[in-house]
Chain A
Amino acid sequence: QKEVEQNSGPLSVPEGAIASLNCTYSDRGSQSFFWYRQYSGKSPELIMFIYSNGDKEDGRFTAQLNKASQYVSLLIRDSQPSDSATYLCAVKGRSGGGADGLTFGKGTHLIIQP
């Protein structure tokens, strides 16, 4: 059974600070890692993906991957109230081209305080 674990929060961060969201996964053979943002009552939207160990930056967002520790994180710099949402970590297993979808964590509820 593949598992993806996240702290459900809420995580409260002051506006302008760095928000740090964490995720661990159980399947050591996992290949691809994704962060989705979900506003209340809306569908998830992809904000970042990472395949290789290290950091990947996209604007104010940085994804970090450590396969040895089975750990993925998302950093949001200069946090804005519009970043308040639930962030879902998702993992694609070792099946590679297989189409069995992603395994999602329960999500971390992030609140940016003005």
Chain B
Amino acid sequence: GIQVEQSPPDLILQEGANSTLRCNFSDSVNNLQWFHQNPWGQLINLFYIPSGTKQNGRLSATTVATERYSLLYISSSQTTDSGVYFCAVVPGSGNTGKLIFGQGTTLQVKP
């Protein structure tokens, strides 16, 4: 089955710093989403981005489907950005709705 690998596994930033999280996937996908799990466990959908670039405030995401990777950019990080960031994909040949999750990047933003 498809492999979804996220890097780095852990990241510590000082407030105000910028960061880039990466998601590599081993096969073609027809759906890619980024999620943020906050320290209270809530999973928030950040982006649906099977290709191209999107921006939402300080966050932006780019997916290059032909090269099988996606990037999540966090600018001017804040302590509220702390948590785990997940990339999830639906394989191109897979069942619609069966999102395969990466192992996540744990981000800690220090004040």
A and B bind: no
